[in-house]
A and B are shown apart, each in its own frame.
Chain A
Amino acid sequence: MISLIGFIGLIMSFFCNVVVVTSYYFRINKRFNQIFYLALYCGLFFICLSFFSLMFAYLSSDFSNFNVFQNSHSSKPLLYKITGTWGNHEGSMLLWLLIMNIYNIVFSFNTTLEDILKKLTIFFQSSLYLCFSLFVILTSNPFLVNSIEVNEGLGLNPILQDPALAIHPPFLYIGYVGFSLILSLALAGTISDKLDNLWIKVIKRWTMFCWLMLTGGIALGSYWAYYELGWGGWWFWDPVENVSLMPWIAGLALVHSLMITQQEQLLKRWIVFLSILCFSLSILGTFLVRSGILTSVHSFATDASRGIFILILFLTITGFSFIVFILKAPHSNKKLNLLFINKTSALIINNIVMLIACITLLLGTIYPIIVEVLTNKRISVGAPYYNSTVIPILLPGFLIMSIAPMLSWQSNKLVKLKNYIYLLIVTGISTVLIAYLTKFNIWAFIGTILSLWIIATSLLSILHNCLKNKFNKFFIYNNALIAHLGVGFVILGITFSSIFQTKNNFEIETGETINAGEYSLRLNNLQMLEKNNFQELQGVFLLYKKDKLLTSIKSSKRYYYVSKIITTEAGIYHDWLKDFYLVLSDEKNNKWSITIYHNPLVSFIWIGVIIMIFSGMVGVLKR
């Protein structure tokens, strides 16, 4: 019954949007306005009905629904029953549709844009909605019903039963899918030739919002990978991760490009191109992940026919957009005021660097496919490739980023240049000291000096601003600096946690203590816990610093009854300056083998990201 309601909601939402799209052609008609918006709101109503029907089916463990049967179990905790709605291919695509529709409705309340432009944007957004709706209805219907009666479900992968991973898809999709609105705005503006300041204002706010949510989504995924997957890392250049990074980088380039326009110089064509690029990368990413064409740690249940459908969607939507781009791309009459070095050129450098990084990621991800089709040989393009290409390419961007917010638009002078030079000398000396103490690794040196320089200059610039303006309009002057400060922290965290990570294996017995420097670790006891869907063998370890008890760290092995999978849960001790990451391995003769990772400055990564997200929120909300 609930599946029927859900399915009807899905179909009705499709038809409502058909009405929206077709009624646009009759916009001269008097009643057009009413029908247009009525259909739009009904469309939202129906997709909400559909989505919440599926969620209800999960909540009530309605196993007559095939999707619920495949992915859920009555013993699953309530939170994961709810979030399990999008923990599978069909459900997540339904979430995609819901978000796409919500963007359309929220945008319809916009009062800044001219009415014609607004309606054309809604038209395109509804058209995009129809494309993906068709995909869900024809190939990924979450409302299929079981032909036989079943009492119990097959269960959900235990690795997915986790709070961070539960909210990671919604955040990610609000970002990813949000770029569809950016595309719609770009197409509407290009076709009707209304890429004016109002359009810039609107698209700027939406882009910032989407990018911000995407940052949160990626960070959540990374954080989850860090504490869940058991090998102490948080970024693996895995295809699925790269696929989420590409729209993020393009979005970042777009956010920066939209800033140039505020000072009478317009890069309309470039902005339209980036707007198309963001969503194209989202669709391509969806294809790469869900078609099964790439091997990844985080794979979805795959199907070649679904893959081909998304590929056709990719070709159609992106092809159409780029054809519009070729035919109607705007011309900028004004020449850019490029000096070395003023704010405009700094932003251009940022764009170049970001785009090349993005292209390199794309090339690395697609290359194995091309090679295998042409030569029947399979190659791997993994972390070593991206580390040697993307990171060096980003370096000039990071360098410029430090002083960019303080540069002038017109001249190539930097206010209070002397202070910055003193700061550079101080940073240089401190870095050399640190490098000497940490046995000089070239990447550590580059990362440290770059990040310290960024952090120091950002703080100095904020200080200059405060001295000049007191706290008037604090966030208007300092928002970019705050964002860059966050980036500085992230780079510092990444540098130290990847280069200076240490991994040690030990064998330990209950009651035994291991000593390492000023720390000691004691295996206090092992306990068996019973939860409703798994059994846990937990090792309780006590961490001492200089013989004083710091905390207990618990690492465990879990056996999930339904899926019969054994997972290992790491125990983490978080400190501002380091993380101890403990993984319980195997037991032999009463001795447990454990692995302890020492990850310095990991917290800086999360702190930096939070600063970046905060700055993004300010950017969206400020007038």
Chain B
Amino acid sequence: MKKIFLSVPLIIVILITIFCLVFLLQNRDPTKPPSALLNKNLPDFDIINLFDNTNIISSKNFKGNIMLINFFASWCSPCKIEHPLFFEIKKNYPSIILIGIDYKDKGEEGINYLKTMGNPYDYVGVDNKGSIGLELGVFGLPETFIVNSKGIIVHKHLGPITKKIITNEIIPFIQ
């Protein structure tokens, strides 16, 4: 009986080590928390077209297709770095619907940004006040969501995407 008591500290030490080891080996980034909306339905929200303020589409319209929603802005420098990769995604996986959301930009800045950098998106929405971002838990740009054909958010990536991330994190969900 006493020996069991005496072994408790050792067991706790081993348990702590295992959990911390697994955490580190899983390459979890302490600055990038997993999304709260993972495996939940994409919330319904209205997207105002960046180029035509009268054109409003509901997120419900895109259901049934695999969606990639990318939050960007003209004031976000890492967004400029990841931007060209979206053309590649569009080229290699034409079945995906690419939606860009221009987050907290003023006036024509978003339009000018896309004119300079090119527009890879199938549809671009504007979110001046950040209300769409609020619904999806956006807090730092760029952020990219992947929604499957059943309308469920299956992955969220914080920060700019790279070729490696496309291969390791995005492709698996697209199959």
Q: How far is the CB of B92 from chain A (nearest CB, A)?
A: 28
Contact assessment for A280 and B33 in the assembled complex, using a CB-CB cutoff below 8 Å: no
In the complex, the chain B residue whose C-beta lies closest to that of A308 is: B24
Partner of B30, one of A276, A284, A294, A308: A294
B31 near A295 (CB under 8 angstroms)? yes
Are A311 and B30 also in contact (CB < 8 A) when A319-B13, A326-B10 are? Answer: no
Instruction: Tell yes or no: B134 within 8 A of A by CB.
Output: no
CB–CB A373/B24 < 8 A? no
Docked complex Cα distance between A362 and B127 (Å): 43
Contact of A376 among B14, B30, B34 (CB under 8 A): B34
- Beta-carbon contacts under 8 Å, B22-68 to A: 22-28, 30-31, 33-34, 36, 38
Tell me the complex Cα distance, A329–B9, Å. Answer: 13
Complexed CA–CA distance, A369 and B23 (Å): 7
- CB of A370 within 8 A of CB of B19, answer yes
Question: Judging by beta carbons under 8 Å apart, are A308 and B17 in contact?
Answer: no
Please give the distance in Å from A356's CB to the nearest CB on chain B. 14
Given A326-B3, A369-B20, A376-B34, residue A304 in contact with residue B13 (CB < 8 A): no
* Cβ-closest chain B residue relative to A294: B30
Q: Which residues of B contact A183 (CB under 8 A)?
A: none
Kindly identify, within residues 288 to 345 of chain A, every residue whose CB is under 8 Å from any CB belonging to chain B.
291-295, 304, 307-308, 311, 314-315, 318-319, 322-323, 325-326, 329
How many chain A residues sit at the interface, stated as a range, is 20 to 34
Q: Are B24 and A311 touching (Cβ within 8 A)?
A: yes
Contact A319 B24 (CB under 8 A): no
CB distance from B157 to the nearest CB of A (A): 15
Residues from chain B with Cβ under 8 Å of A314 in the complex: 13, 17
- Contacts A284-B16, A293-B30, A315-B17 given: A373-B10 contact, CB under 8 Å? no
Alpha-carbon distance between A273 and B13 when the two chains are bound, in angstroms: 13
Q: Residue of A at shortest CB range from B8?
A: A322
Knowing A295-B31, A322-B9, A376-B34 are in contact, say whether A369-B21 is a contact too (CB < 8 A): no
Give chain A residues whose Cβ lies under 8 Å from the Cβ of B26: 373
Are B6 and A329 touching (Cβ within 8 A)? yes
Q: Which residues of B contact A273 (CB under 8 A)?
A: 9
Name A361-383 residues within 8 Å CB distance of B. 366, 369-370, 372-373, 376-378
B116 within 8 A of A: no
Interface: A93 (CB within 8 A): no
A325 to B10, CA, bound (A): 9
Minimal beta-carbon separation of B102 from chain A (angstroms): 28
Minimum C-beta distance from B135 to chain A (A): 19
Collect the chain B residues with CB atoms within 8 Å of residue A373's CB.
19, 22-23, 26
Identify 8 new A-B residue pairs, CB closer than 8 A, beyond the known A277-B9, A293-B30, A295-B30: A276-B9, A284-B16, A293-B20, A293-B23, A307-B20, A315-B17, A366-B16, A378-B34
- B residues lining the A interface (CB < 8 Å): 3, 6-7, 9-10, 13-14, 16-17, 19-28, 30-31, 33-34, 36, 38
What are 17 contact pairs spanning A and B, CB under 8 A?
A: A273-B9, A277-B9, A284-B16, A293-B20, A293-B24, A294-B30, A295-B31, A307-B20, A308-B21, A314-B13, A314-B17, A315-B13, A319-B13, A326-B7, A372-B34, A377-B34, A378-B34
